Amino acid sequence: MISLSFLFRIFLPWRRALLCHSHVSILNIIAIRLRGHSPELLIDTLVRLRMKDRDVEIQQIERCYIKNRQTYLDASTLAALVEQEIEREQARKREQERERELLADPTVLDQPSE
C-alpha cells in the first residue's frame, strides 16, 4: 500500500506535465521529491510558463524555488520570480556581449549608442 501511494505521488505530477506538453522525466520528479520540494508546485509553475511560451527547464524553476523558499510561494508567484530571473540572465548576457565587443573593437566606444 505504501509503494502504491509513492507511485501515485510520482505518477500524477508526471502525467499532469505530460498532458500539458511540459516534459519532465520521472527521475526528475523522484529527485525533486527526495530533496523535499513539492513537485506539484514546480510542475504547475512549469505549465504556467510553458503556456506563456517561455522555454524554461524544471531545474531552473527549482533553483528559483530554493532561492525564495522562505517566502510564501504559489505557482503564479513562482512563475513571476522565474520570469524575473530569466530577464536578469538575458540582461547579463547582453552586457557580456557588449563587453566582448568593446574588447574586440575599441572603436565601438567612439560610435554613438542608439
What are the residues whose beta carbons fall under 8 Å from the beta carbon of 26, sequence distance 6 or more?
10, 11, 14
> What pLDDT score was predicted for residue 112?
61
Prediction pTM value: 0.77
pLDDT tens digit at each of 114 positions of the chain: 677 777 777 888 888 888 888 889 999 999 999 999 999 999 999 999 999 988 899 999 999 999 988 888 899 999 999 999 999 999 999 999 988 888 887 665 556 655
H/E stretch holding 33 = helix 26-34
Domain boundaries, the chain: 2-103
> What pLDDT score was predicted for residue 110?
59
User: Do residues 17 and 23 make contact, with C-beta atoms less than 8 angstroms apart?
Assistant: yes
